[in-house]
Amino acid sequence: MIGECTLQYAITQVAKLDTIGSKWVYVKGDACKTILTTPQLIQTLLFNTQQTTAVITKDIGSSHFLQEVTYPPATLPNLLSMKVIVSDSIAKILGYTCKGVELKWSDGVIYQIWYTPEIATTVNAFELAFKEVPGLVLSYTIIPVAGTSIQYQATKIDFSPIPLSQFNINRDQYQNID
C-alpha cells in the first residue's frame, strides 16, 4: 500500500491521436488532488476520503471559480450501475505489468482500464469508477455512446514525498459558485 504517489497522464483524443491535455494525480495519505489541464481550462479536484466535501476549482482564462461539492464516500454504491468485464489481456506500462478490465455503465459509457495489481494507493478513487479496481490505474479510455473516445495514459509515476502545501487553496483567488 503506497501512501504517497504522483502520477502524470497524457490525455489523447483517440480518433485523431492528438494530445489534448494532461492530468496530474497527487495522493498523500487520505488526501487526493487531481489537476486536469487543457488549452481551454485548468480544473482541480481536492478531496479527503475522511471528509464529506470536495473542492473543485476551475481556471478559464482570467476567470477563477471555486465550488464545494458533496463527495460520495467509498462505501456508497455508484449512482449508475456498472458491469465489470474481466479480460485476460496484459500490457506493460511504465515498466509495470498491467491487467485489463472493462467497466460498462448503465448509460452505455465504457471505461477500458489497465491497472497494475503490484501497486495500491491509499486513495484509489481519483476517478469514481476506479474504487472497485484492485490496483493502480495506469491507463484508461473513456468510450462514450456518441462522440470521441478519450485516453488517459500514465507517462510518469513518482513515489517521492509530497509537501502538504500541494493541498492548500488560496480561496481569495476564486469566485465562489454554488
Strongest mean pLDDT among 12-21, 31-40, 96-105, 120-129: 31-40
Average pLDDT, the chain: 90
In this predicted structure, what is the pLDDT of residue 105?
84
Local confidence band at 83 (pLDDT 50, 70, 90 cut-offs): low
Q: C-alpha cell of 145?
A: 455512446
Instruction: Give the fold, CATH level 3, of 4-161.
Output: outer membrane lipoprotein receptor (LolB), chain A (2.50.20)
pLDDT tens-digit map of 41-70 = 999 999 998 998 999 999 999 999 999 998
Q: What is the pLDDT of residues 136-169, one digit of tens each?
A: 999 999 999 998 999 999 999 999 999 999 999 9
Of the candidates 108, 103, 113, the residue with the CA atom closest to the CA atom of residue 9: 113
DSSP code of 171? G
Residue-level pLDDT at 75: 63
- Determine the Cα–Cα distance for residues 152 and 128; give it in Å rounded to an integer: 15
Domain residue extents for the chain = 4-161
In this prediction, residues 10-18 reach a mean pLDDT of: 90
Query: Cα(31)–Cα(139) distance, rounded to whole angstroms?
Result: 21
Instruction: For 93-129, write each residue's pLDDT tens digit.
Output: 999 999 999 888 888 899 999 999 999 999 988 887 8
State the pLDDT at residue 16. Answer: 84
Given a cut of 90, whether residue 74 has pLDDT beyond it is no
**List of residues 6+ apart from 17 with CB closer than 8 A:** none
Where is average pLDDT lowest: 1-15, 78-92, 115-129, 157-171? 78-92
